Chains A and B, each alone.
Chain A
Amino acid sequence: MPFSFKKRSVLPGFGLTFGYTLFYLSLIVLIPIGALFLKSSTLTGSEFWATVTAPRVLASYRITFGAAFIAAFFNLFAGLLIAWVLARYEFKGKSILDALVDLPFALPTAVAGIALTTVFSVNGWLGKPLNALGIHVSYTPIGIIVAMIFISLPFMVRTVQPVLEDLEKELEEASATLGATRLQTFRRVILPVLTPSLFTGFALGFARALGEYGSIVFIAGNMPMKTEITPLLIITKLEQYQYAEATAIAAVTLIISFVLLLFINWVQWHNRRKYSL
């Protein structure tokens, strides 16, 4: 063979499975996504720019990105703490706690949405005490942040937990033997190993929160300029038959998601090269 992009193998079925993978991937994912970019190119450059920088659209970016960032930042600490406890300590009920972490993956977002709205409403289990403190969650930006924290928490925990479990005890013992305090060991030995997974968990959670719709629309109040997230704005444009505008906003959101996806893959690739011997 003069040139081959595939190494020789005695196993059969490469042509069939590889071909089917490309065919199905194109049909379900690549062509539909391509249609979106094709459609958004029917707008001229200035139309496109005017659409995606309209005040209401900019306000939706601000609230979506701001809330997603705060939620991911909160989960950086909450997720690390939960991952640490699950990876390091033994206690009663640990396996139940561990299983519960995945609840946001398993619970339909609409169910999460109405549940959070009820829990944080003025008379809700958590809303009532918070209200007494003057903190209003439902129908405010805080509600959006709460829903995003709920939806993106497992990404952080499940990214950091395996790294903590694989961490060699000997490194920490060596650090302690050389006279480091526990805090020094954490900062100088454990944290550097964790950093790539913290970045990845942050980016995964952030990306998920950016696109989230179901759990947020119930609790957000959906006031234009104030509590209207970008995915909802896309739906609003669609319902008004402004397809080109909806598509332009979607294209911007999609490009940002892809950049995040590439960033996550880059961190993981970089990390694998750094630590593989």
Chain B
Amino acid sequence: MPSPISPAPAKNGPEVRQQTPRARMRDAVGEPPWMRRLLIGLAILLISVILLVPLAAVFHQAFAKGVDGYIAAITAPDTLSAIRLTLLACAIAVPFNVVFGVAAAWAIAKFDFKGKNFLITLIDIPFSVSPVIAGLVFILLFGAQGYFGEFLSEHDIQLVFAVPGIVLATIFVTFPFVARELIPVMQAQGTEEEEASISLGADGWKTFWRITLPNIKWGLLYGVVLCNARAMGEFGAVSVVSGHIRGETNTLPLHVEILYNEYDFSGAFAVASLLAFLAVITLIAKKFLERGVRAEIKAAENMVPEQGALHS
């Protein structure tokens, strides 16, 4: 039995529900349901066509010659050496940029000095430089005709068109990632906890390891994940400084290009699927870590309510 205040029979439920005051309130600042459905549908269509279809194509093409062909492609000696070189470049580039990122974030977030915004802009430069140019600058420095070319050839040191060049180019393109993630987290956290630690007699290192690092661990990990993904996948910069020698100066992305240009499409996609798989893992890790980073910033904001009250 429908009473005046209970919801109407299911038959014309939607219309009646819309007439309750709460639903009408929502409508005042929202879109009608048909509009919502249309917009959601359009967004799903756009993301599917632009992003999901290419990703699916990688895995589809990778198995074009069956599982056996796939395994043969990713266990070929050249592929294995490309994997080794990619891992090596990451193992050097990521720790270097982590140390820099932590140092830069400490200086920028914990102290007030002139020209801070300018310094942050300088740190951002590698993001706005074309990868091709990132490779080019190291050839101008260390190539045979470069500024240090003569010195290097006299001492029989080869940097570009060799592994060190690949590592340098990788460091350049992944330079800002860790600093970029840590600066806002550490700025939100302020300096109160560290000051307390120092005034209680701890030294700088102890304060950093016991107070700062636990507070920024998610932000740091987030930066490392992004830095690592870019380091493993960098193509343009590495392509310019690599000697393109199969089995010697080929990273995974460069190996994908070589196989593709040799019309070994299923082989190229098989190797590419390793990188695509890494990208999917990165996205999942990113999603998971974002929650931790948000909690770190939020915890910092809750720590100092008096300050917020003073300023407002």
Contacts and interface: CB of A to CB of B under 8 A. Distances in A.
Contacts of B256: 108, 110-111, 114
Contact of A153 (B51, B52, B121, B207): B51
A246 B139 CA distance: 11
Nearest to B100: A24
Given A108-B252, A169-B29, A247-B136, 11 more contacts: A18-B107, A18-B111, A21-B104, A25-B123, A28-B175, A36-B133, A91-B40, A108-B232, A118-B57, A214-B131, A265-B121
Contacts of B54: 112, 115-116, 119, 150
Q: Which residue, A93, A114, A234, A258, has most C-beta atoms of chain B within 10 A?
A: A114
B188 interface: no
Contacts of B30: 88
A11 B110 contact: yes
B300 interface: no
A91 B275 CA distance: 30
B142 to A, nearest CB: 10
B112 A7 contact: yes
A260 B108 CA distance: 24
A82 B41 CA distance: 10
Contacts of B112: 6-7, 9
A261 B125 contact: yes
Interface residues of B, number: 101
B152 interface: no
Contact of A111 (B28, B110, B272): B272
A250 B133 contact: yes
A203 to B, nearest CB: 10
B58 A111 contact: yes
6 contacts: A28-B175, A103-B55, A150-B50, A150-B51, A214-B131, A260-B128
Contacts of A191: none
A7 B272 contact: no
Interface stretch (A53-61, A94-102, A134-142, A194-202): A94-102
Interface in B234-250: 234-236, 239-240
Q: Which residue, B128, B195, B199, has most C-beta atoms of chain A within 10 A?
A: B128
A234 B207 CA distance: 48
A104 B133 contact: no
A119 B125 contact: no
B47 A250 contact: no
A97 B238 CA distance: 31
B240 A238 contact: yes
A9 B172 contact: no
Interface in B275-312: 275-276, 278-280, 282-284, 286-287, 312
B133 A253 contact: yes
A14 interface: yes
Would you list the 8 A-B pairs with minimal beta carbon distance, nearest first?
A: A108-B233, A211-B130, A214-B235, A32-B137, A213-B236, A12-B204, A6-B113, A115-B54
B194 A149 contact: no
Contacts, number: 289
Contacts of A211: 128-133
Contacts of A260: 128
Contacts of A265: 117, 121
Given A11-B191, A150-B51, A36 B124 contact: no
B115 interface: yes
Interface in A244-262: 246-247, 250, 253-254, 257-258, 260-262
A125 B53 contact: yes
A84 interface: yes
Interface residues of A, number: 97
B46 A81 contact: yes
A101 B233 contact: no
B138 interface: yes
A12 B203 contact: yes
B209 to A, nearest CB: 12
A235 interface: yes
B151 interface: no
A177 to B, nearest CB: 7
A223 to B, nearest CB: 17
Contacts of A28: 168, 171-172, 175
Given A115-B58, A153-B51, A214 B236 contact: yes
B43 A114 contact: no
B119 A107 contact: no
Interface string B193-205: 0110011000110
B31 interface: yes
Contacts of A24: 100, 103
B22 interface: no
A119 B275 contact: no
Contacts of B268: 114
Contacts of B265: 118
A243 B145 contact: yes
Q: Which residue, A30, A102, A153, A218, has most C-beta atoms of chain B within 10 A?
A: A102
Interface string A26-60: 00111111011011000000000000000000000
Contacts of B132: 211, 213, 231-232, 234-235, 250
A103 B104 contact: no
A11 B198 contact: yes
Contacts of A116: 54
Contacts of A105: 226, 229
